[in-house]
Copies of this chain bind each other. A is one copy, B any other.
């Protein structure tokens, strides 16, 4: 392969709050000639995930850490365009930590994997990737929904929330979603949610009581913040709070506000439990088989919110942190 330019967005410094453009630096260098054992991947789609915000903090999170001076850490998929490594055949699609750059130079040690030929690269980032796995394990292994129960989802129109809600429907539950715009709420109803509520509504408590007359058996929480606090006050006896994420406080490097109503866990004999999807890596195949089946038979719908161009990645990240996305946010390069 001839030497080509490689545009990259480096993390310049740890953000103090919302990661504005001053946190990043766009540079261009050349893709080096591949050495023995290396391969070059042309990055095609970048996954935009709220968790990237906490990877940007000093020390990172869950084993993911974005390091100042290096291309911003991101999951993505791309095609092998040059290779001196039999593990990465030319033309193969590769997924993993490809970062905000046009080309990624891989070695054996990198956390990447070759996609099966039949895999759709974009879906492998979302419904059939991290988001699908997160929704699946969080809901079924931590939330343990029982048919007829009420499952409440925050950031319900997000990449993970929209899947978790549909999985809860598949499990025979009544599903209520929280989302910030009328368009998102309409979409949730299309997906089969029984109700979709505006989490910013001054009447949210009343709306929630109407939508969850028997309380909340499972709260699948992607946001934390006031939604978590309110959901706790409506927790049914033996209710489970699945702590999946805390988008509401990711931009707050100081002390986030804790859930004042946590004492409801005592009154209602409730459980609040966190999880990290990577702990289920050994069982991804198990979930994937089911997710593929539900996507194929139409019972699990997905939406990709695609923006084009590497330079738009920082704004795409800010958008998911603000909740200005519907479904899976992806940057197409």
Residues of A bordering B, CB below 8 Å? 61-62, 224, 229, 243-246, 249, 255-276, 279
Contacts and interface: CB of A to CB of B under 8 A. Distances in A.
A130 to B, nearest CB: 15
Contacts of A255: 260-261
Given A246-B263, A258-B258, A274 B268 contact: yes
Contacts of A269: 273-276, 279
A266 B258 contact: no
Main SS class of interface, A: mixed
9 contacts: A62-B267, A243-B265, A243-B266, A246-B263, A255-B261, A258-B260, A265-B274, A266-B275, A272-B272
Contact of A266 (B246, B270, B271): B246
Contact of A258 (B243, B244, B262): B262
Contacts of A272: 262, 265, 271-273
A259 B272 CA distance: 12
Given A255-B260, A258-B258, A259-B258, A276 B271 contact: no
Q: How many copies of this chain does the complex contain?
A: 2
For the complex of A and B, the 10 pairs showing the least CB-CB separation, nearest first, are A258-B258, A266-B274, A265-B274, A258-B260, A258-B259, A255-B260, A272-B272, A271-B273, A243-B266, A246-B263
A129 B173 CA distance: 40
A151 B103 CA distance: 49
A59 to B, nearest CB: 10
A269 B244 CA distance: 10
Given A269-B274, A272-B272, A276-B269, A261 B258 contact: yes
B276 A224 contact: no
Given A269-B276, A271-B273, 4 more contacts: A224-B262, A256-B260, A267-B274, A270-B274
A279 B257 CA distance: 31
A276 B265 contact: no
Contacts of A261: 255, 258
Contact of A265 (B61, B256, B266, B273): B273
